[in-house]
Structure 1
């Protein structure tokens, strides 16, 4: 058969299909024959190696092991990725800075960083301290690769026999990883991260370097980090000079510095020291006779520092100093801070009491951030026990805010045409497969109500519908303006489904408290170098806070949040001497409960939950548990009743009476002396005089004069007032309907209303 296929250049050509078919058939037959011959040859070859009996079993086991090993490698790599994300090179640069911290009045409150003249080389650390630490914490430290498998198994057996946790299985490398990068939450996720980080540390550093990290960075109670600082704190001498009894006491602090610190519990410290001495003998480092002297001559403790160091605050302030001082070339610094030690103690005590009271509801952790209305941080309580875990939950933990996030949704609504009295419907559209439900499980009654009532009742349906109607992108843009970052656009975003830190949350609310001005949390007022040069001054180097939310919007939100406290879910936060506004929050589970609110003077964020993110007892809510904590410390930290009026509210009767009393103390036409701008009690003349004395002493000692640096007109200020006093308070009607006559009825009552930061 022939077929015309194509023509080229007028010449006809044909294709012989039979020949082509023949070639294809013969080619396939030849290929199949080659494959069959090759397969048979290969089979014959491998038949020579056919295994039988125990050899075959061994081969099968090896094959299965290889398969499982490959799968295990993939799983391990997946588990290692979160640990690698926790690794932060900046943690190793801590030693670059040595910072002494002062309170607002110039009193020393603590230090952070490794002082350059205090960094003790490992070779100069006494042999008893090194051996006591190894004998107690990790006897196989120089033998393992970061994870002591035998030590972990031994600790597991001992704990099972004692039916209690009496030995820890973490190696020194794992403890360094935890101290540098992780919290102390007791969870499998944290232990997995710790293990991988330990392996990473072992690959990056030598054993001696890791041991040096341990001696320099471990918290040892009393605000002291590292063996040298602890030795100075407890014995008033360098670690180079300690004896065996003192070394054993210090080595006993690594496990639980708060529990075994001698100034906290001396009998427990003595008992722990005795255990460390037993370990020295058991490990073969010393004989019983060599440690006998240390048993009969216990260490003498010298109290030479304030033991109530605001450690949570100082950790965060140290990060702020490093950020500010980066690029200046100055590393030995003195920083004056915004902390108030009385307020710090009040928040610490309030959280401790709450966790003790709520333990039956499985509430085991919490955090409090307290600011003034311009962002000046007065207190940070980052957890239940700083000695047990230095992880700062107030600044670093991102927990779901629940309904407390609705404030940002409602504020976005007010910015886009809604008012507190706008009628809204208790219902919401679907978003994909998600349909919002109110507390209790209903999808809304369908009834209508004013906007403020929906917030007071904390209706999920209304908040979700507002986010859809206004636009979730606008809500996210508002949160970013307020300093609340990382929020993602999701269907349930309005219900607080993405984590934020308590400090961020407090800073966001502070903007409403001061009438709409930016209130970024800050801790540092000024920084001075070791030569007396002013490296940083907030008054000099920071711009005035911009207006980032319209004042009417802030007033409207404050009026609505006041209704939340007066008639809604936050009634347990009320104070009898001043107005309180705020919002409760409860995440699903419940895993997190919140109250974030403020008076005219302070803003505070309270979070309660569990470090391992497990659920608490069903029915635990922010209104029942977090709001009373807020009320407990707010009731004691207001030292006088001259409290500014919250923008958008009437003055509280107690504040009206106080302002009238103050006005009556001054003759007509003579205004009370204005509060000095800033929080320092040191005048400019005093500061200049002290600087001149320092210069004179340097000259007398033959020390070169430091280069002159420009000084600000007022370097002693702390929190800037930022603007004129806030608009006088309005009546109880929603903003926009208040009577001007009522606003101006009592000018004395509005005196002193300022835009100061609220915690």
Structure 2
């Protein structure tokens, strides 16, 4: 019999009456699942209620903080100049800017006035969504958070330009969570208070761009010598590149690096649609270059010296923007630097630590150039104005000036012989004594015993007093060795002493400022005192001393300084153990001083004042005098004299009556100039005195 159930679905057993099903629902998680769900949903609900309330509180705090900052914000123009001090802009003798000091600010400049390329470069480099966000860019913040998490520290701020304004104006540059939290309400307040152009104007005026410049107008003037209104795309990109790291990308430090950074920003400007392909090609092919003044970086040492000597309230401590018209001549500076470099390249051993300095001034004391060392960096030690060094025989013209003022003659005869004063016995470089010789020969050949004898007879106190009046501002050393240059002085002061001689005996105190004005003012605050010096020694004494110093170059220790076409006078100087070597001299146009030595005061090797310093002087003066018509020096030729200084100091000098009688007798009987032959003095060695 066939199975009737075949092909049919098997029936479930009938559920008894009152019996409930024991099968679990398909979505029933079970007791454990239900417990987990309860905990999770309860926690989420609790968190939602907590964060909802915290968010409400945070929003209220943010609103209150934003409102508070909003009420504190002044008119936007008040925030443009945020410097703590003023600035100094220096002009050369032709009125061209050559140096800047202090905190430079170019003046108020609004975003609507600057070159559009600058706006585009800044926005492309710093905040592409500037025109669209409300002060805070969530996308930028998220990106910065991701970078910081990967780095494990704060390396990127994600700040908008508005946030940077908040930081620069009201907050600090420190990267911290607290500062970032303050930036947000401040940025929102700025966006509510000002329009976008105002915010951008504050930014363009406040930001620091290296080399002491604040704001793009100052930076544009500093690096390109033009207003930010006139910037090309390449120049705008270079300035915008400074925002990342002003010192690293400063074109005055590394032009190639600055140009490389600018090329990146040019590409960003292209991506944002601010530049056409043709403009990009042009900007990349012709990168921005420094102005002539910025590229030359001339006059750094001169500018440093001016800041040292100018009144503090108008220089390093100024709270105003000051313009100084100076005596600086960039062409003379270039020639002096080239002369120094040439002699060191050709005559000084490679690796030598020797340093050198040069000062060039006009006869009235107007300083035209200062080379304070072989290289210059802002704030570097200026060996021309800050180094106090013994002067050696470069001081001897002061001794002879005192003698001439006391009535002596260059042809007076003094004994070059052994001499002892107390327990001190000066000697000459070569340990030779030449016997009777004229003062002229003694100076030309740098005879030490004669200089001491003259100083002692004239009076060392009178010599010291005259040295001060002629321009040495440092203390004069006591004792008989003062005649041999044991006193210390700066090169600037010593060059001023020689300028006094060249200036017919009128004081020629070195000065570098012609005029000082506040920016925008027509009336000067002060002027230089050119040509107003007092008569320190008589014009006759100055002329006689010039005659004697000419012989130093013509026939004495300074022969290597002789110029091919111009008459010159000067004096060599070398101090104890050749620690310092000097040559200072002048023509009818300029006075130039040269010093060589080591910064640690160790002896030079094979250098005396009549050697490398004289050669540097000749190289510099040959270039400086090029194209200037030769003029004679103001020389007074001395009358013959037969006055002889007694060997022993106690016997004194001939009386005026005796001298007149001797002069008359010499005229009647005849007689000429008695000169000694032989070589010159030399290095200031232990127990001896100065130089060749």
State the TM-score bracket (shorter-chain normalisation): 0.5 to 0.7
Distance 2:87 2:571 in 1: 40
CA contact (8 A) 1:104 1:339 kept: yes
Q: Does 1:509 align with 2:502?
A: no
Of residues 596, 599, 603, the one that matches 1:615 is 603
CA contact (8 A) 2:364 2:530 kept: no
Q: Does 1:313 align with 2:302?
A: yes
Q: Does 1:341 align with 2:330?
A: yes
Aligned pairs for 1:267-306 (under 5 A) are: 302-304=289-291, 306=293
Distance 1:425 1:95 in 2: 65
2:569 equivalent in structure 1: 581
Q: Does 1:534 align with 2:547?
A: no
Q: Does 1:455 align with 2:443?
A: yes
CA contact (8 A) 1:350 1:629 kept: yes
Question: Cα gap change, 1:317/1:428 in structure 2, threshold over 3 Å: closer, same or farther?
Answer: same
Q: Does 1:408 align with 2:398?
A: yes
2:388 equivalent in structure 1: 398
CA contact (8 A) 1:227 1:250 kept: no
Total equivalences in the alignment: 434
C-alpha displacement at 1:331, in angstroms? 2.5
Distance 1:272 1:587 in 2: 51
SS state of the match for residue 551, structure 2? Answer: helix
Distance 2:522 2:244 in 1: 42
CA contact (8 A) 1:526 1:538 kept: yes
TM-score under structure 1 normalisation?
A: 0.51
2:169 equivalent in structure 1: none
C-alpha displacement at 1:451, in angstroms? 0.8
Name which of structure 1's ranges 542-551 and 228-237 shifts more when overlaid on structure 2: 228-237
1:485-526 per-position Cα deviation (integer Å, ceiling 9, x unaligned): 222213322211222111111110011101111101111112
CA contact (8 A) 1:95 1:115 kept: no
Of residues 469, 473, 493, the one that matches 2:482 is 493
CA contact (8 A) 1:527 1:534 kept: no
Distance 2:88 2:630 in 1: 34
Q: Does 1:521 align with 2:541?
A: no
Question: Cα gap change, 1:271/1:461 in structure 2, threshold over 3 Å: closer, same or farther?
Answer: farther
Aligned pairs for 1:427-446 (under 5 A) are: 427=417, 429-440=419-430, 442=431, 444-445=432-433
SS state of the match for residue 519, structure 1? Answer: coil
C-alpha displacement at 1:610, in angstroms? 1.4
Q: Does 1:627 align with 2:614?
A: yes
CA contact (8 A) 2:336 2:358 kept: yes
Aligned pairs for 1:203-242 (under 5 A) are: 233=222
Name which of structure 1's ranges 640-649 and 522-531 shifts more when overlaid on structure 2: 640-649
2:649 equivalent in structure 1: none
Distance 1:109 1:311 in 2: 9
Question: Cα gap change, 1:408/1:369 in structure 2, threshold over 3 Å: closer, same or farther?
Answer: same
1:161-193 per-position Cα deviation (integer Å, ceiling 9, x unaligned): xxxxxxxxxxxxxxxxxxxxxxxxxxxxxxxxx
Distance 1:627 1:217 in 2: 43
Q: Does 1:104 align with 2:98?
A: no
Structure of higher CA gyration radius? 2
Of residues 353, 359, 364, the one that matches 2:354 is 364
Could you list the runs of 5+ residues in structure 1 that have no partner in the other structure?
1-93, 120-126, 129-214, 274-296, 651-733, 739-759
SS state of the match for residue 394, structure 2? Answer: helix
CA contact (8 A) 1:344 1:381 kept: yes
Q: Does 1:636 align with 2:623?
A: yes
Question: Cα gap change, 1:537/1:118 in structure 2, threshold over 3 Å: closer, same or farther?
Answer: closer
Q: Does 1:475 align with 2:463?
A: yes
1:421 equivalent in structure 2: 411
Distance 2:104 2:579 in 1: 41
Of residues 109, 114, 121, the one that matches 2:103 is 114
SS state of the match for residue 111, structure 1? Answer: strand
Distance 1:425 1:246 in 2: 70
C-alpha displacement at 1:315, in angstroms? 1.7
Distance 1:233 1:529 in 2: 18
SS state of the match for residue 303, structure 1? Answer: coil
TM-score under structure 2 normalisation?
A: 0.55
C-alpha displacement at 1:465, in angstroms? 2.1
Distance 1:272 1:328 in 2: 35
Distance 1:335 1:407 in 2: 34
Question: Cα gap change, 1:461/1:344 in structure 2, threshold over 3 Å: closer, same or farther?
Answer: same
C-alpha displacement at 1:481, in angstroms? 0.5
SS state of the match for residue 109, structure 1? Answer: strand
Question: Cα gap change, 1:358/1:411 in structure 2, threshold over 3 Å: closer, same or farther?
Answer: same
C-alpha displacement at 1:230, in angstroms? 7.1
SS state of the match for residue 360, structure 1? Answer: coil
Of residues 561, 566, 578, the one that matches 2:554 is 566
C-alpha displacement at 1:552, in angstroms? 1.4
Question: Cα gap change, 1:430/1:270 in structure 2, threshold over 3 Å: closer, same or farther?
Answer: farther
C-alpha displacement at 1:329, in angstroms? 8.7
Distance 1:634 1:560 in 2: 20
1:350 equivalent in structure 2: 339
SS state of the match for residue 492, structure 1? Answer: helix
C-alpha displacement at 1:96, in angstroms? 4.0
1:71 equivalent in structure 2: none
CA contact (8 A) 2:581 2:597 kept: yes
Aligned pairs for 1:18-167 (under 5 A) are: 96-115=85-104
Of residues 251, 254, 267, the one that matches 1:261 is 254
Question: Cα gap change, 1:389/1:350 in structure 2, threshold over 3 Å: closer, same or farther?
Answer: farther
SS state of the match for residue 622, structure 1? Answer: coil
Distance 1:545 1:554 in 2: 14
2:269 equivalent in structure 1: none
Question: Cα gap change, 1:555/1:323 in structure 2, threshold over 3 Å: closer, same or farther?
Answer: farther
CA contact (8 A) 1:355 1:364 kept: no
Question: Cα gap change, 1:270/1:102 in structure 2, threshold over 3 Å: closer, same or farther?
Answer: closer
CA contact (8 A) 2:213 2:222 kept: no
CA contact (8 A) 1:407 1:557 kept: yes
C-alpha displacement at 1:357, in angstroms? 2.9
Question: Cα gap change, 1:393/1:465 in structure 2, threshold over 3 Å: closer, same or farther?
Answer: same
CA contact (8 A) 2:86 2:318 kept: no
C-alpha displacement at 1:105, in angstroms? 2.5
Distance 2:603 2:391 in 1: 15
